[in-house]
Structure 1
């Protein structure tokens, strides 16, 4: 076995299939997306090279920048919601009664497809037969909102299902990280007179900070490229009030048949995600990593 592992040719042979798969699934589509962004193409007529015209149009497109703003709002809200997920994970990791059942309940949304979740919340938000407006009328609130038809509230209404959908994912990540902290550290802090809040803020949070950084990147990048639930629930409406970059790209490419322009939007979205990831890593960089055994 040592002879095999010391042979670089054999190692390259084993790694080659994975590299080819990554190349075909990730890097080739990225290059093609950038290439198509330089073209004017409706998927039927021959492609026509127009240089950077699509990107120039992108910069001047107010509707696109509105979608960028909406995506950034989702990114900020998703990042802030991590505090809620972390608080729930802190409570569950404290060996409370029923913690095992609650963890399973929080995971239920992860088992459902985004389309199923969208259909569920469409029923909840229905202006006349929805359970939400029914409850508001029951407690005496008149003129209940049209949640998905009012430009002032649609963005917030769409975010609630997203918040619910990903709760289990982040809670489980934080829960696993918290459970990995040696109990002796927590017990020693309790003996020294530390309160539960002090233990959470001064011991547990620093020890899982690397995990928190990863979840921030996941939340921000995931929000910037979020598409399916928003598209099913609103299609980007009303009048673009819930349009995000991914739905704008889809509508440009497949509804208006502007595949070149849609590709330019997709490539721009990739660049924004890369910049966001780099920025988060720089902002959360620490010189020392806290280790425990």
Structure 2
């Protein structure tokens, strides 16, 4: 094995298939997206080179920046929701009764497709006979809102099913990290008189801070490119109130048949996501990591 690993030709042969796959599925499409953004093209006919016009128009497009703002709002809310997931994970990891059952329940949304989840929540938010408004009427609210039809609240209404959809994913990550903490540290803290909150805040959370930082990056990046559930539930409406960058790109390319402009929006989405990722990684970087 050592002889094989010291042979650069053999290493290249083993790595080459993975590099080819990554190139075909990731780097080549990205390069083509940037290239198509330089064209005036409907996706079918002849392409006309127009230089950076699409990118300049995108930067000056107020609808694009509105969609970008909505994406950043989702990223902000997704990051805040990590605190909820962490608290639930801390409770589940504290050996409460039924923890195994609850952990399986939280994983159920991960087994459903985004389309199924969207259809479920459309029924829940139905202004006439939806479960949510029926409950509100039962509490005496005569005119509950039309959750997906009011521009001021639609984005917040959509965030709830997104939070529900990914709860199991992040809870599972935090739970696994918490269970990896040596029990001797917890017992020593209890002997010293620490209560459950002190143990969670001063011992458990600092020890899994590396995992928390990774989930922050995942939540932000995932929110910036979020598309499917929003598109099914509202299509970006009403009047663009729930439009995000990915759905705006899709409408331009496949609904308006402006494939060149849509590609430019998609490439800008990539650049924005990369910049945000680098900034978040810099902000969450820590020179010293707690070892146990």
TM-score class normalised by the smaller sequence: over 0.9
Match of 1:7 in 2: 7
Distance 2:196 2:3 in 1: 54
- Shift in Å, 1:5: 2.2
Distance 2:108 2:45 in 1: 46
Asked if 1:97 is matched to 2:97, the reply is: yes
Distance 2:53 2:11 in 1: 45
Match of 1:183 in 2: 183
Distance 2:103 2:137 in 1: 33
Q: Deviations over 1:17-58 (max 9, x none)?
A: 001000111111111111111111001221111111001111
Match of 1:52 in 2: 52
Distance 1:290 1:44 in 2: 56
SS in 2 for 1:166: helix
Distance 2:281 2:4 in 1: 38
Match of 2:128 in 1: 128
Mapping for residues 13-52 of structure 1, pairs under 5 Å: 13-52=13-52
Distance 2:5 2:66 in 1: 53
Distance 2:287 2:119 in 1: 46
Match of 1:198 in 2: 198
Which runs of no fewer than 5 residues in structure 1 stay unpaired? none
Mapping for residues 265-284 of structure 1, pairs under 5 Å: 265-284=265-284
Match of 1:172 in 2: 172
Q: Deviations over 1:65-86 (max 9, x none)?
A: 1000100100000000000000
Match of 1:63 in 2: 63
Distance 1:273 1:44 in 2: 29
Moved over 3 A (4+): none
Distance 1:29 1:288 in 2: 38
Distance 1:228 1:80 in 2: 21
Distance 1:43 1:250 in 2: 12
Instruction: Answer with 64-73 or 4-13: which moved more.
Output: 4-13
Instruction: Answer with 279-288 or 166-175: which moved more.
Output: 279-288
Asked if 1:109 is matched to 2:106, the reply is: no
Aligned length: 292
Mapping for residues 138-177 of structure 1, pairs under 5 Å: 138-177=138-177
- Shift in Å, 1:3: 2.1
Distance 2:64 2:163 in 1: 24
Distance 2:21 2:79 in 1: 32
CA RMSD of aligned residues (A): 0.7
TM-score (norm 1): 0.98
Q: Deviations over 1:109-132 (max 9, x none)?
A: 000000000000011011111111
Distance 1:271 1:210 in 2: 25
SS in 2 for 1:201: helix
Distance 2:286 2:4 in 1: 39
Distance 2:150 2:230 in 1: 15
Distance 1:4 1:155 in 2: 55
